Structure 1
Amino acid sequence: MTMILVTGATGLNGKAIVHEFARQGHEVRALVRDADRASVAGLGGLVGVELVEGDMRLADTLGAALDGIDRVLMISTAADDMTETQCRFIDACGRAGVAHVVKFSGAESNIGYDAKRFRFTRMHE
C-alpha cells in the first residue's frame, strides 16, 4: 500500500486534506511540528493517520517522517524562507527515495488582484 506524507497537516488546508484521506480509508502520515497541537487541531485518533513530529526546515528531523514514504503532498507556510524551506525539504525527500512530491499552492483570482504585488505568489511561481 502506498504511504502518503502530508506536510503542513495542522494548517487549514492540510487538516482538511488529512481528514479526507482518513474518511476515504487511506493511510496517511501527517508531518507536524508538535503532536500535542496536532491532537488539539483534531488530527489525533483519526483512523489510518500517523502523526510524526518534524520540521521541514530541519532535514535531520525528517527521518521518521520520510521512512517508507512513496508520495508527499507538500504544504508549507508562506514565510520569508518558504523557497529555501521547500528546496531543503525536496532535497531530503530525494535522499530518502521519495518518488513523487506534489506542491500544494494557492492562487488568487479576486477581481483587481495583482500577483506582481503579492510576494508569496511570486515565490510560488
Structure 2
Amino acid sequence: MDINTNYNITTVYTNRVTTSKDQLGKDDFLKLLVTQLKNQDPLKPMDDREFIAQLAQFSTLEQMQNMNSSFNAVRAINLIGKNIYATITDNNGNSRTVTGKVDVVYKQNGEYFLQVNGIDVPVDAVTAVSE
C-alpha cells in the first residue's frame, strides 16, 4: 500500500484570511495545523510533543493578539480630551493634516478611530499629542 507523503498546503495560503497588515494570523495558523493533521501519515502520526508545541504557539499567538488589541484600546481612550496632530489620507490618496481635541473614540472593523472636529482619524495616524 502506497502512502502519499507529498503534502500540498498551498491552498491554506491562497485562501487565507489576512490581517490588516497582510500577515499570517491565528486563523491561518489553525488552518495549517488542521491541514497537517488531515494529511499526516497514519502509520507515522505526528509526534505528540510537536503537536503540543504547535498548540502552545497557537495559544501564545492568540494571547499576543488579544494583548495588542487591549493596548490599542487603552492608547485610544487615553487620547480623549487631548489635542492631537495627525496626517490622514483620503480615498483619493490625498494627504491631509488634522489637528484638534479628541472628542470621541470608537472601534470599527477591529481598528480604533478618534473623532476630531467631526473628522475620523485612525489612532495609528496620530503623530503628536499635547494636553
Q: TM-score under structure 1 normalisation?
A: 0.23
Structure ID, larger Rg: 2
More strand per residue: 1 or 2? 2
**Relative contact order (C-alpha < 8 Å, sep 6+): which is higher?**
1
Q: TM-score under structure 2 normalisation?
A: 0.22
